[in-house]
Amino acid sequence: MTRAATTVALSCLIVASAAPALAQDRDQNRAVVGVAGVYAPAYQGADDYRLIPFPVLDLKYGRFFVNTRRGVGATLLEGSAVSVGAGVTYVPGYRRRDAPEGVGRLSGGAGARISADARLGGLAASLGATRALTGDVDGTLVDASLAMPVRMSSRLTLIPSVSATWADGAYHRAYFGIDARQAAASGLAAYRPGGGLKDVSASLTASYRLNDKVTLGATGAVSSLRGDAKKSPIVVDPTQPAAFVSVAYRF
């Protein structure tokens, strides 16, 4: 992820990529690479937006994977309907220039992640937990999503999705909190949030297969902060849109 990456952009990609990943055949080995352009807030709750280049990766060799959504790791369990994996992923922060003056930079870092994907009839469900390990981010995130891929034609698939993210107090305080030093420097009120539901999101993805190798994608999403995250002094707009377009090539 680049230095301009944001939590909203990552959440958007998590939701949008869950269903296509389950829709793919479970090849023992595969390689899908591409690039996306993401338009999203500079951080969750910001009033400024950024256009961000973002890699699209889905590499698998036996049990090992490198994936935009799941990170770098290995599959622990893979059945006909359920897949469970564990690995290391990126937990984004925000840049000093994007945060309110005096709040400062929140450096992103590595996080340990475990996730499970399941196919329930025509539905695709995903549940994951990420624990921040490095950087200024801290705490634990739990995300869940539900999607329903609808094949419109042999080439076009529409994927409506809904998701929610829970965060503990340590994460909320790192991302949305204002300590005494930041309050003095920024003029904002000190704020010490607790844990709870962080956000809910809805998205619609259109995936168009040009041929057996190339797939185009477009996603529109809306995310709304909830609970203590919504009440943070750094949150200007708790409900925000995000969008991205992508092109991916399957080897």
- Model pTM above 0.95: no
Average pLDDT value for residue range 234-245:
94
Kindly state whether residue 38 falls inside one of the protein's structural domains.
Answer: yes
Q: Is the pLDDT of residue 29 over 90?
A: no
> Domain for residue 97, yes or no?
yes
**What does the alpha-carbon distance between residue 153 and residue 83 come to, in Å, rounded to a whole number?**
27
127 inside domain: yes
- In the chain, DSSP assigns E strands to 29-41, 49-61, 64-67, 71-78, 82-91, 109-120, 123-132, 140-147, 150-151, 156-167, 196-209, 214-225, 239-250
The tally of domains found in the chain comes to 1
Residue 201 near residue 221 (C-beta atoms within 8 A): yes
**Could you tell me if residue 134 is inside a domain?**
yes
CA neighbours within 13 Å on the CB side: how many for 209? 15
> To 5 degrees, how large is the angle CA 126–CA 201–CA 174?
90
Asked whether residue 17 carries a pLDDT value surpassing 70, the answer given is no
7-16, 60-69, 97-106: segment of lowest average pLDDT: 7-16
Mean pLDDT of 208-221: 93
Q: Model confidence at 30, in pLDDT bands (50, 70, 90)?
A: confident
Backbone angles phi, psi at 136, to 5 degrees: -85, -20
Inter-residue contact 88 to 71 (CB < 8 Å): yes
Mean pLDDT of the 202-211 span? 93
User: Does 1 reside within a domain?
Assistant: no
Distances (CA, A) of 161 to 44, 52, 100, 167, 220: 19, 22, 32, 20, 10
- CA nearest neighbour of 95 among 177, 6, 8: 6
C-alpha 176/C-alpha 172 separation (Å) is: 5
- 9 HSE (CA, 13 A, CB side): 31
Task: Give the CATH number, domain containing residue 18.
Answer: 2.40.160
Give residue 90's domain range.
Answer: 7-250
Please tell me which residue, 235 or 54, carries the higher pLDDT value. 235
pLDDT in the model for residue 27: 57
Burial of 114 (0-12, 13-18, 19+ CB in 10 A): middle
CA-CA distances (angstroms) from residue 116 to 21, 84, 142, 236? 12, 4, 12, 33
Between 67-81, 140-154, 166-180, 216-230, the lowest mean confidence (pLDDT) is in 67-81
Note whether residue 172 is domain-resident. Answer: yes
Indicate whether 14 pLDDT > 50.
Answer: no
What's the one-letter identity of residue 162?
Answer: V
Mean pLDDT of the chain: 88
Instruction: Quickly list H helices, the chain.
Output: 7-23, 169-176, 180-186, 227-230
Q: Which of 17-21, 67-71, 234-238 has the lowest mean pLDDT?
A: 17-21
Report pLDDT digits (tens) over 102-139: 999 999 999 999 999 999 888 999 999 999 999 999 99
Q: What is the DSSP letter of 213?
A: S
Structural domain includes residue 45: yes
User: Is 2 a member of any domain?
Assistant: no
